[in-house]
Amino acid sequence: MLHTTVTQLIGQTPLMSIDVPDRNATLVLKIEKNNPGGSMKDRMARSMVVAALQDGRLAPGGTIVESSSGNTGTGLALAALEFGLRFIAVVDHHAAPDKIRMMRALGAEIRYVEGDFREDEVAVVERQKLAAQLGAQLPGALFMNQSDNPANPEGYAGLVDELLGQLPNGINAFVGCVGTGGSMTGISQRLKRHNPAVRTIAVEPAGSIVFGKPGHPYYQSGTGTPAGDEVGKVLDYGCIDEGVQVTDTQAFETARYIARRRDCSSVVQRVALSTRRWSLSPLVS
């Protein structure tokens, strides 16, 4: 098939199996890094832009503003190119330099939040405030507010359709990171509509407040909800069976372990588990 826009390459990402020693299980990674922007956030970013254009909140030639650690920003930069929009990404010191370069290469304007922050402190609250302020002040601008935007979880419908087609023997459990809650909610709700018995496990960084545990700084970027911020309105706790926390050390060491064993240069954060029995290691993220 001949495509005419980069965003037409979103989706249809492959699966990769991971051996689970001494378990009657097959762990399957959905390789979302194969999306054109390098993450699953491409799906929801385009979904939010399309919804805003359709309902008139965003006019042709308008400006998108969003707080991002990099992945959502890259997805929005791609969508902005497709629809001829301006995009301003509000970031903090945690944003990876390669993601900043990617957003700039795609035409995004980068705004850093001001302030003295600890190295392990994610400045999500300050990012949200600045993004909302810019969205309100700039003519023709819209703050996308992915945490509360219903088009966020709607953007993952295609991913679930892909999983069901790629795993014809069924999915017994789904494990995914939870940040805004958009992907976890969108995927879990649709999997349970297909099979209510599917077990859904949401993973957050130790220090995140999504499941009510005490908040403290953490290094994991792009996931969890730090202390001082509010859990996104898109998160539906009713479709989540279990919440699990992982420490920075567990997350980073597991990513390195899988990358070295499977020659996988970037470990995705969303996992489908297809087996007659399921189990979850606290090291899986």
Task: Write out pLDDT tens, residues 168-183.
Answer: 999 999 999 999 999 9
Query: Has residue 160 got a pLDDT over 80?
Result: yes
Report the candidate in 28, 66, 100 with the shortest Cα–Cα distance to residue 258: 28
- CA dist 99 and 205 (Å) reads 21
pLDDT of res. 120? 78
| Domain final residue pick, 91, 118, 143 | 143
- Which CATH number covers residue 69? 3.40.50.1100
* 172 and 132 inside one domain: no
Among residues 143, 169, 196, which one ends one of the domains?
143
Whether 259 shows a pLDDT value over 90: the answer reads no
Domain that holds residue 27: 6-38+151-273
> Structural domain tally of the chain?
2
Asked if residue 161 and residue 105 are part of one domain, the reply reads no
DSSP state of 15: E
What distances in angstroms separate CA 113 from CA 124, 221, 244, one per listed residue? 10, 16, 30
Q: How confident is the model at residue 262 (pLDDT cuts 50, 70, 90)?
A: low
Co-location of 61 and 193 in the same domain = no
Q: What is the pLDDT of residues 234-257, one digit of tens each?
A: 999 999 999 999 999 999 998 888
What pLDDT sits at residue 138? 98
Q: Residue 270's pLDDT is what?
A: 39
Give the integer Cα–Cα distance in Å for 104 and 88.
10
Least confident range from 8-17, 91-100, 135-144: namely: 91-100
Q: How many CB atoms are closer than 10 A to CB 152?
A: 30
Confidence band of 162 (pLDDT split at 50, 70, 90): very high
Q: What pLDDT, on a 0 to 100 scale, did the predictor assign at position 285? A: 25
| Cα distance from N-terminal residue to C-terminal residue, the chain | 34
Asked whether residue 187 carries a pLDDT value surpassing 60, the answer given is yes
Same domain, yes or no: 46 and 34? no
**Mean pLDDT score, 15-20:** 84
Whether residue 46 sits in one domain with residue 30: no
* Active-site amino acid positions: 41
| Residue 20 pLDDT exceeds 90 | no
The DSSP string of 143-189 is E--TTT-THHHHTTHHHHHHHHHH-TT--SEEEEE-SSSHHHHHHHH
Q: How buried is 60 (Cβ within 10 angstroms: 0-12 exposed, 13-18 middle, 19+ buried)? A: exposed
Residue 123 is predicted with a pLDDT of: 85
Res 94: pLDDT: 80
- Residue at which a domain ends, from 85, 112, 143: 143
- Residues 91-119 have a mean pLDDT of 92
Question: Average pLDDT for residues 204-220, to the nearest whole number?
Answer: 95
Residue 281 pLDDT > 80:
no
pLDDT at residue 272 tops 70: no
Q: Are residues 33 and 76 in the same domain?
A: no
39-70 pLDDT, tens digit each: 999 999 999 999 999 999 999 999 999 999 89
**Residue 278 domain flag:** no
